[in-house]
Chains A and B, each alone.
Chain A
Amino acid sequence: MSRETEDLNRRLLRARDAMDRAYAEPLDVRAVAAVAHISPAHFSRSFRDVFGETPHRYLQRRRVERAMFLLRETDRSVTDVCFDVAFTSLGTFSRTFREIVGETPSGYRRGHGPIVAPHCVQLAAMRPRVAAGETMQSSSFGEALAAIQP
């Protein structure tokens, strides 16, 4: 039982790492679930049980964290940043960004400048938390894909 849990955790972590690494590419549930050797149907539930949020939300927070970085540290346009972090529609990007960060991408840019800290520190510490009041159960990877690839 315990060994199975550890093995499942490790495989799910590998899938989570794949999202961290390939956030800028179009990812689909099948590919990410395949990294964990889990059927797409079971992947989202298992991931949520282990990491406390859906893989869709995890990937969104990763992408939004990178978008926050690009808005702070570069002068790329909001539209360019949206596509840099693999959102395919500006509307979905802006809505998701606002939902997670609490302000619009351009509002965030106005209020924040570059941060002098190592990448790994920023990556971990600057990642937005789950928006207040959100119920994790309400989001499934299926909905997520629709949002990422409308």
Chain B
Amino acid sequence: MITRLNVASIYVLDKDEALDFYVNKLGLEKGNDVRQGDYRWLTIRVPGERGTEATEVSLEQPGPPLHDEATAAQLRELITKGALGGLVFTTDDARDLYDTLKERGVADFTQEPTDHFYGTDMGIRDPFGNPIRILQQGKAKQKATA
């Protein structure tokens, strides 16, 4: 049986810019950063997760050798349209994190922290258009309004 999600991947337009956003803005940490010829295996992960506990998110840039240039261009268009899949994280305090992110200069919020029957969540986009949702699990104190 499968026991854990080890690596998931998202497409970004630029690995350095992605690393800066996910580490310095969002507060994740760098995982693997290994170069193999022209290829750079670059991952991020939630701080504190280690070794066999960690789920790494691989940051992949469209282009050779994985894609021909036409395919890479299509992928870049879809990324920037916000049409590709994203990531969902959990937090222990959504509103506190929201304030922290704003202080760090994150501006692309798709949804301010909002209470629901299952918890409080918010939405942001990475610099390229990928959707990110962050959830504080647990029933919100007040009745859901949106």
Contact = CB atoms under 8 A, between A and B. Distances in A.
B111 A20 contact: yes
Contacts of A69: 146
Interface in B77-128: 77, 79-82, 88, 108-112, 114, 116-118, 121, 123, 125, 128
Interface of B: 13, 73, 76-77, 79-82, 88, 108-112, 114, 116-118, 121, 123, 125, 128-129, 133, 135, 144, 146
Interface stretch (A4-12, A37-45, A105-113, A130-138): A4-12
Nearest to A76: B145
B146 A66 contact: yes
6 contacts: A2-B73, A17-B125, A50-B81, A119-B114, A119-B146, A120-B133
Nearest to B121: A119
Contacts of B128: 10
Given A2-B76, A120-B123, A51 B81 contact: yes
Contacts, number: 55
Contacts of A2: 73, 76
B129 A21 contact: no
Given A20-B110, A20-B111, A21-B111, A13 B121 contact: no
Interface in A11-36: 12-14, 16-17, 20-21
Interface residues of A, number: 22
Given A20-B111, A21-B110, A120-B133, A13 B82 contact: yes
A57 B128 CA distance: 25
Nearest to A122: B116
Contacts of A10: 80, 128-129
Nearest to A13: B82
Nearest to A23: B146
A7 B128 CA distance: 9
Nearest to B69: A2
A9 B111 contact: no
A50 B82 CA distance: 11
A120 B73 CA distance: 28
A118 interface: yes
Given A6-B80, A73-B144, A14 B116 contact: no
